Amino acid sequence: MDASSHRPAGAPPAAEAAWALLGSKPGKVFAMHIGYAARAAQKGRTPEAPGFFLKPATSLSTGGEAEVPAGTAIFGFEGEIAIVIGRHARRVDEADAWSHVAAVTAANDLGVFDLRWVDKGANLRSKGGDGMTPIGPVLLPAERLDPAAIEVRTWLDGELVQADSTSTLIFSLPQIVSDLSQLITLEPGDVILTGTPADASTFFPGQRVEVEVTATALDGEQLATGRLVTTLRVGEHQLPPYSAQPKPTPEQWADASGRPIAEFQAPAAPVLDDELRAQLSQVALATLSSGLRKRGLNNVSIDGLRTTQPGKRLVGTARTLRYVPNREDLFKTHGGGYNAQKRLFDSLQPGEVVVIEARGDNRSGTLGDILALRARHLGAAGLITDGGVRDLDVVTEIGVPTYHAGGHPAVLGRLHVPWSFDETIACGGATVQPGDIVVGDGDGVLVIPPGIARELVDEAMQQEREEEFIAAQVDAGHPVDGLFPMNAEWRARYEASIADAGDA
């Protein structure tokens, strides 16, 4: 059948190629929610019955570059087996269902997961866009195949990431066809995506996803679709304000990637309450450093940095960001779009401090005025980087205390790739973990493990009271011998003065 006879004016060229492969424009494209047992185990739920959603025929393509809207960030791949209906099927039983299938091919059920919030399970926006259903490149004749012995594999940048067989489907391919036909007439050319195996995950613009379906024919011949190749590009088209806008939530990141939600959530509520923050704002950094040394912590200072706000104390809870040395292919996949840097800054909470690992390399900016403005708007307590700061004069005017290794006009991609956030990093020679308490002033920056912060500050305040007493005695003319440090006699006088102050 000539696909051009079914081609509406203005149909996407990518869809036309898919319709040509199928022989006509399909009337319906179905996709299954959960198909494989291993996928169900990974999701933590096994369906009682087959579940489907619909995709537009214009979402079909034969692979190549798929374009997603500007501002979106969470992109998922799902390698699948697609079946193509060959004969009308209405209320067919399981035993007869496979005879209504014309062909089998590979498919990639692409998704833009930060648009899923508005779909309410329909997946229309997240999976229905033009080019979001690549199929092909070759159709395998269904009559030559055992529907329980078809395999699918998916590769990401050449690494095998998904592999399974229809022998492990929760509902067999004939059951899937039979089930759909009970309520909906299946017509020649209709396409059914039969679910993805375990380990579907996220990918980034520039990465290459390949899906292939293989089978041993009933006569023993090895059949294969060849690899269906898809890449991704974030387009320039902005969704209008009345359209659903991207919402890259931790839940969607976890669902798309198959990784624990904790990896995408901000750290738990910090121990740094208002009282502790006020105390840390008063105690000298030198006193805190002394207390840390008494506890065997000698490598907790972030060294070699200067501040944009001399005389202003910085106290906050660490949020960490790690840059790796620039490699052009990695910057292409991790540097653009809604990268780790932007995700961290957008998730800042009041009182948090961004701490950046830039390997001490200040020959490029690691943040600039836009990010500093975002940090100020969200109530961040400060910014710390052992790399350079772009727009340094403007960042200084913005007023968020920023510790840095110097100004530099170059953009991020010259030396750094924003790789990850909220993990253990190294900054200025110190190890910093998310949730650590960071205190800084003109003497430098200290990193305080939160578990010892309260006892440390109590001890530091006690030490400073003693030093104030010693300083007053020295100012009154007493010699330092026996006073600094205090001997038993002076210790008794000090305690008496404390008691007198309490009585007063």
Annotated binding-site residue numbers for substrate: 368-371, 390
Q: Do the bridges between strand 228-234 and strand 382-385 make them parallel or antiparallel, or are there none, so unpaired? A: unpaired
Burial state string for 379-400 with b = 16 or more CB within 10 A and e = fewer than 16: ebbbbbbbbbbbbbeebbebeb
State how far the Cα of 339 lies from the Cα of 204, in Å rounded to an integer: 10
Pair 194, 213: CB distance under 8 Å: no
Q: Which residue stretches of 188-312 are H helix?
A: 250-257, 274-282, 285-294
What is the DSSP code (8-state) at residue 239?
A: P
State how far the Cα of 80 lies from the Cα of 17, in Å rounded to an integer: 19
Pair 62, 21: CB distance under 8 Å: yes
Pair 198, 37: CB distance under 8 Å: no
Residue 246's nearest CA partner among 129, 419, 368, 329 is 129
Phi and psi at 29, nearest 5°, equal: -125, 115
Q: Do the bridges between strand 228-234 and strand 301-302 make them parallel or antiparallel, or are there none, so unpaired? A: unpaired
In the annotated binding site, the residues are 368-371, 390-391
Coil, helix or strand at residue 325: strand
Residue 102's nearest CA partner among 144, 60, 165 is 144
Locate 196 and state its tokens.
Answer: 């993805």
Q: Please give, one letter per residue, the 3-state secondary structure of 149-208.
A: CEEEEEEECCEEEEEEEHHHECCCHHHHHHHHHCCCCECCCCEEECCCCCCCEECCCCCC
DSSP 410-465: --GGGTEEEEEESS-EEETTEEE-TT-EEEEETTEEEEE-GGGHHHHHHHHHHHHH
In the annotated binding site for Mg(2+), the residues are 391
Q: Which residues pair with 355 in a beta bridge?
A: 320, 384
Q: Do the bridges between strand 222-224 and strand 133-141 make them parallel or antiparallel, or are there none, so unpaired? A: unpaired
